[in-house]
């Protein structure tokens, strides 16, 4: 019996091997048939791998590290920053950089260089979520525009300013102690620097539109620095402050709603642009208009007659007018009636004394 069982088991192994070989042959035949049907059949059943799916969705890790976005993610993000450019705003912030370089040198008594890194547009909620903590957020108000803005000072610049103002050595990096709240001294020193920057920002806007940026409060939690709705469009300006081997970044966030009162001025390509107006040409044209001679006609009366009567006129015929010496005379320029007046005599000349202006039909309908 044992021999019979072993034989049956051995036979079963042989049958399984034969079955597997037959399946492999069938799979090879199907593959050959698929190749014969053409590329369209193979393309219709092709499955994307994970790398291709990530590239399509724009969530590839390499792209995120480099800051480049592609695929669907790029389409979605393009709708978030498709706001109008304000050419004059770049001029204002270039002026701010020059002023800050001088004022921060006086403030810190150190060699300070300020540079403009980037001017971009973003939604307010996305910006708050992207702030690297810990940081200090200064809320300020534009008095003349009756709206708010936000200034973010990162931790690197906070520790650098504290180290410089408290007499830290040059050539040594500022000591950073993470994981603790900012002290009162640190907050007071940063607040003094914020006042300096806001003063320069007001001076930078003065040639365009006099504005006073007033400091409101200093926050360390982004949730308490909410000045606009999460979906509102904002302008984000990144400034880099370098003090030899120390420094950090300041980010200015100004909502588009805050800039709305001066939007027309910010759309200018250069300072003093008049959107097509030329004051020299306007003054010259007005001066020439005052010297222009305009012929006027005094119309005593108008009579409608048949053409046959007019053709029957001969020298000596009389035309009776329905007017008297005291009737009003209509003064016309071409076909346009301008004034009404009374006829008289001035020395040896026939004159008309203007009594009033004749209202044209369009003017009467407007009133």
Percentage with pLDDT > 90 across the chain: 11
Number of H helices, E strands in the chain: 14, 10
* Whole-number Å distance between alpha carbons of 221 and 135: 8
Which superfamily is assigned to 293-366 in CATH? SpoA-like (2.30.330.10)
313 vs 19: which has the higher pLDDT: 313
- Range name among 7-16, 120-129, 200-209 with the lowest pLDDT average: 7-16
Measured CA to CA, the distance from residue 331 to residue 265 in angstroms comes to 45
**Alpha-carbon dihedral angle through residues 93, 223, 196, 183, given to the nearest 10 degrees:** -140
- pLDDT of 139: 92
Which pLDDT score, from 0 to 100, does residue 71 have? Answer: 57
Arithmetic mean of pLDDT, 315-338: 82
Average pLDDT over residues 52-81: 55
pLDDT in tens, 180-223: 788 888 899 999 999 999 999 999 988 888 888 999 989 888 88
User: Within 13 A of 60's CA, how many CA atoms are on the CB side?
Assistant: 19
What pLDDT is stored for residue 197 in this prediction? Answer: 92
Q: Which of 64-73, 91-100, 159-168, 192-201 has the lowest mean pLDDT?
A: 64-73
Q: What is the pLDDT of residue 342?
A: 85
User: Is a pLDDT exceeding 70 seen at residue 87?
Assistant: yes
Measured at the alpha carbon of residue 266, what is the angle toward residues 263 and 271, in degrees to the nearest 5? 140
Task: Kindly calculate the radius of gyration of the chain based on its CA atoms and give it in whole angstroms.
Answer: 42
Q: What is the CATH architecture assignment of 87-266?
A: 3-Layer(aba) Sandwich (3.40)
- What's the whole-number average pLDDT of the chain? 77
Whether pLDDT at 111 is above 60: yes
Name residue, tokens 């370089």. 101
Can you give the residue ranges of every domain in the chain?
Answer: 87-266, 293-366
**Element (H or E) spanning 154, and its range?**
strand 147-154
Q: What is the pLDDT of residue 311?
A: 87
Q: Can you give the pLDDT at residue 247?
A: 83
Helices (H), 145-275: 155-165, 184-205, 256-259, 263-266
pLDDT band at 89 (very low <50, low <70, confident <90, very high): confident
* Contact assessment for residue 135 and residue 159, using Cβ atoms and an 8 Å cutoff: no
DSSP 260: G
Q: What pLDDT digit, counting tens, does each position of 138-147 carry?
A: 999 998 888 8
What does the DSSP assignment read for 329-353?
EEEEETTEEEEEEEEEEETTEEEEE
Report which DSSP code applies to 175.
Answer: P
| Contact present, 304 and 322 (Cβ < 8 Å) | no
User: Per-residue pLDDT averaged across 289-301, rounded?
Assistant: 85
The pLDDT value recorded for residue 322 is 78
Tally of CA atoms within 13 A in the half-sphere of 326 that contains its CB = 0
Residue 229 has pLDDT above 70, yes or no: yes
- Whole-model pTM: value is 0.53
Q: Please, what sign has the CA dihedral across residues 305, 309, 315, 319?
A: negative
**Per the omega criterion (within 30 degrees of 0), is the bond before 134 cis?**
yes
Residue 180 per-residue DSSP state: S
Band (326; pLDDT cuts 50, 70, 90): confident
Residues 282, 284, 285, CA angle at the centre, nearest 5°? 65
pLDDT band at 318 (very low <50, low <70, confident <90, very high): confident
Residue 139 pairs with which residues in a beta bridge?
A: 150, 217
Vertex 229, ends 225 and 231: CA angle to 5°?
125
Kindly report, residue by residue over 20-41, the tens digit of the pLDDT.
677 666 656 555 544 444 444 4
Kindly tell me if the per-residue pLDDT of 249 is higher than 50.
yes
């Amino acid at each position: 019996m044992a021999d019979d069982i072993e034989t049956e088991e051995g036979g079963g192994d042989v049958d399984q091997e034969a079955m597997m070989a037959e399946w492999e042959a069938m799979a090879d035949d199907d593959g050959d048939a698929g190749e014969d049907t053409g590329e369209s059949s193979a393309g219709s059943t092709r499955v994307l791998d994970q790398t291709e799916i990530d590239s399509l969705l724009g969530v590839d890790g390499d792209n995120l590290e480099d800051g480049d976005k592609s695929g669907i993610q790029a389409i979605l993000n393009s709708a978030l920053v498709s706001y109008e450019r304000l050419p004059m705003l770049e001029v204002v912030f270039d002026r701010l950089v020059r002023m800050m370089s001088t004022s921060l040198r006086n403030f810190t008594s150190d060699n300070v260089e300020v540079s403009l890194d980037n001017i971009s547009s973003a939604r307010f909620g996305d910006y708050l979520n992207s702030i690297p903590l810990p940081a200090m957020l200064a809320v300020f108000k534009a008095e003349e525009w009756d709206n708010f803005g936000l200034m973010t000072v990162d931790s690197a610049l906070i520790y650098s300013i504290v180290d410089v103002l408290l007499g830290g050595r040059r050539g040594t990096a500022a000591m950073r102690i993470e994981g603790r709240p900012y002290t009162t001294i640190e907050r007071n020193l940063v607040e003094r620097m914020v006042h300096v920057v806001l003063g320069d920002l007001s001076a930078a806007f003065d040639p365009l539109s006099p504005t006073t940026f007033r400091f409101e409060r200093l926050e360390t939690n982004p949730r308490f620095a909410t000045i606009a709705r999460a979906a509102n469009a904002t302008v984000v300006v990144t400034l880099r402050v370098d003090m030899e081997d120390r420094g950090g970044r300041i980010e200015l966030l100004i909502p588009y709603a805050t800039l709305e009162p001066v939007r027309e001025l910010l759309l200018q390509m250069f300072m003093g642009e008049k959107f097509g107006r030329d004051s020299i040409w306007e003054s010259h044209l007005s001066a020439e208009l005052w010297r222009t001679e305009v012929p006027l006609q005094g119309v005593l009366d108008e009579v409608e007659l048949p053409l046959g009567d007019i053709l029957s006129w001969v020298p000596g015929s009389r035309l009776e007018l329905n007017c008297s010496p005291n009737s009003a005379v209509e003064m016309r320029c071409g076909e346009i009636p301008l004034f009404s007046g009374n006829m008289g005599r001035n020395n040896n000349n026939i004159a008309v004394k203007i009594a009033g202006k004749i209202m044209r039909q369009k003017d009467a309908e407007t009133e």
